[in-house]
Chains A and B, each alone.
Chain A
Amino acid sequence: MNLRPVLIVDDDIDHAVIARMVVASVAPGLPVETCMDVRALPGRILDAPTGAVVFIDRMLEGAESIPVVSRAATARPDLYVVLLSASLTDADRHRALESGAREVAEKPGNLEGWRALVSGVLRRASGAHGLAEAPGRVGSGSHSARRP
């Protein structure tokens, strides 16, 4: 299974650190970056490693991240964006998927749930399309994945 690198975007430092620990525990050695500075968005996402899995919180310093997700889906279709939130309605899920997120999930309340969420996402992302090089970018581990 060819796992993608991970970028975690969350303004809550505790959640970002815990998410990073979980990724490290389910996929040791996998490159993981974190972004807790909302002001660095969306540039940080647009500069993400080729084909990265991006876990992004739905609310960043009081503002919705869905516009960022939408822009990333357009500019970087190679990214596998997963929107996370402490609380989600069906309407939230629909809007997130419509904006280009590949998956939408509520943040689990225990470590076991987090591990299942992260390992499931990494597994599905590794088999998903979109791992081709980003427009104008040359990645160190470039892939020529077929697109639907």
Chain B
Amino acid sequence: MQVDGASPIVAASQDVWAILDALLYSVSHDLRSPLLTMTLSADLIEEGLPAERDSEALAIGLSSLRQGGADLERMIAALTSLSRARREQVTPSRVPLGLLLGGYETAGADGSTDTDIGTVHVRADAIVVRECIDAVMTATESDVAVTVSLGQDGCRLEVPLPEAFQGEASPLTALAGSLRQFAGTFVEVLAAHQLRLERCGNRMAISKGTLRIDLPLDDSQ
């Protein structure tokens, strides 16, 4: 799966986000209504014309109607996922990095040690971060190590993505660029996680088959 287009998300004013959120919600809900009408109509047609069920044209027509409906449902589900990620409650707080990564196998990059990780605090919603990492591990079907890099301003977590997932991009940018291609795929899953992370002041990106999550340090008491 190739994900291209590494352009960053353009910062928008709060008013624009409010409008986008409303549009996202109404589109994900309102489009499903006519979709239901289409799929139910296909069922009604099939049940109502038993004598002509052998007609090739009818079979093709019904199949196409259902396939179109399934595609539309897939894309609407993706919009619904993003809408919910924008509206779910997130509570970023000062979190010990060691606690945040508890239970994961970790590897320190650039000479970082477990001791260094244990003394660092970051600003994040621990559940949001862990759910993102868990999603990658589920997709990878293995417990991969989380590589930790500590810098002056922040902490970077890196998790290898499934082999089939290549390219460099923001998952959300990729999904927004081609809903048809990426709706229902792991890109959609990551895009929703990206929205949640960025609402917490964190960043997510993909580079060389690796997922990167950047968390700001929190030295406050």
Contacts and interface: CB of A to CB of B under 8 A. Distances in A.
B33 interface: yes
A114 B40 contact: yes
A109 B40 contact: yes
Contacts of B30: 86
Given A87-B28, A87-B80, A89-B84, A109 B39 contact: yes
A111 B43 contact: yes
Interface string A83-103: 001110100000000000000
Contacts of B69: 109
B99 interface: no
Interface of B is mostly: helix
Given A18-B40, A87-B28, A111-B40, 4 more contacts: A15-B37, A59-B29, A86-B36, A109-B69
B47 interface: yes
Contact of A15 (B29, B33, B43, B84): B33
Contacts of B37: 12, 14-15, 18
Contact of A87 (B32, B40, B43, B44): B32
A107 interface: yes
B203 to A, nearest CB: 27
Contacts, number: 40
B73 interface: yes
Interface in A14-31: 14-15, 18, 21
B22 to A, nearest CB: 12
A14 B35 CA distance: 11
Contacts of A59: 29
In which size bucket is the chain B interface? 10 to 19
A59 B47 CA distance: 29
A110 interface: yes
Interface string A33-67: 00000000000000000000000000100000000
A86 B33 CA distance: 6
Contacts of A15: 33, 36-37
A87 B29 contact: yes
A99 to B, nearest CB: 19
14 contacts: A12-B33, A14-B40, A14-B41, A15-B37, A18-B40, A21-B44, A85-B29, A86-B32, A86-B33, A87-B32, A89-B84, A109-B36, A109-B69, A111-B44
